[in-house]
Amino acid sequence: MKFENVLISNEAAIATVTINRPLKLNALNKATIKELHHALNDLDKDKSINVIILTGSGEKAFVAGADIAEFAHYSAKEGGKLASSGQKLLFSFIENMRTPVIAAINGYALGGGLELAMACHFRVASHNARMGLPEVSLGVIPGYGGTQRLPQLIGKGRAMEMILTAGMIDAAKAHEYGLVNHVVELEHLMDLSIKLATKISENSPKAIGYAIKAINAGFNTSENGYEAEIEAFGKCFGTSDFKEGTSAFLEKRKANFPGF
């Protein structure tokens, strides 16, 4: 499938997905959200891909926000539909993918851009990154999961302050808050992301998929995280990855996981 706003490249078991709207600072519109869904869905089904890195084109922005011009004249009903469809199609979709997605934040991650980064399984950032949810300055609130994921990641009080002041924080503060795992110079951002992705790709893809599911269950009020962990743990025993991993350990060799 050919994409207008998304670029995809593969290196070994690692895929890089780049949001490519540099003239709009990679702002998310409905077309880009759909393209990202299709690209990520295809990669999640690809047995040769173990990790995905998500980033933005250029050196200024990961995603500078949603494309405000597209919804500035929406009604209340249209606004609700926009948030519902976007969350289902992309943000919640990424969070529940079996393939881990690393957000490589290369500049501004604002509004929908920060929400996109928070939907990923973890985040690394360049020193020039700036993050925030400025929606209340436009008379609206975050609609792609920001009011839920930000408190989970940094705590209720800090999230309240960020959302209610509509302010930005720099990469150092984001690291201090636990919003991002690592901060590096821009020129080293992809190198670090690939290094982390490579380390992940050496492990069992099936176990990683189950781990993601179990961790997410702990943040879902309708699920019991411990029960989800027990169920996922048990299922691991029935996989070829478990047989290979334990055999390799006992035989004192490096595991060669067959994957999905």
Active site residues: 115, 135
Nearest by Cα to 257 from 100, 47, 99: 47
Inter-residue contact 232 to 213 (CB < 8 Å)? yes
Measured between alpha carbons, how far is 53 from 107 in angstroms, rounded to an integer? 15
Q: Whose structure tokens read 């490579």?
A: 198
What sections of 120-224 are H helices per DSSP? 146-154, 156-165, 171-177, 189-201, 205-217
Beta pairing, strands 168-170 & 101-105: unpaired
Measured between alpha carbons, how far is 99 from 122 in angstroms, rounded to an integer? 12
Other C-beta atoms lying within 10 Å of the C-beta of residue 21: 22
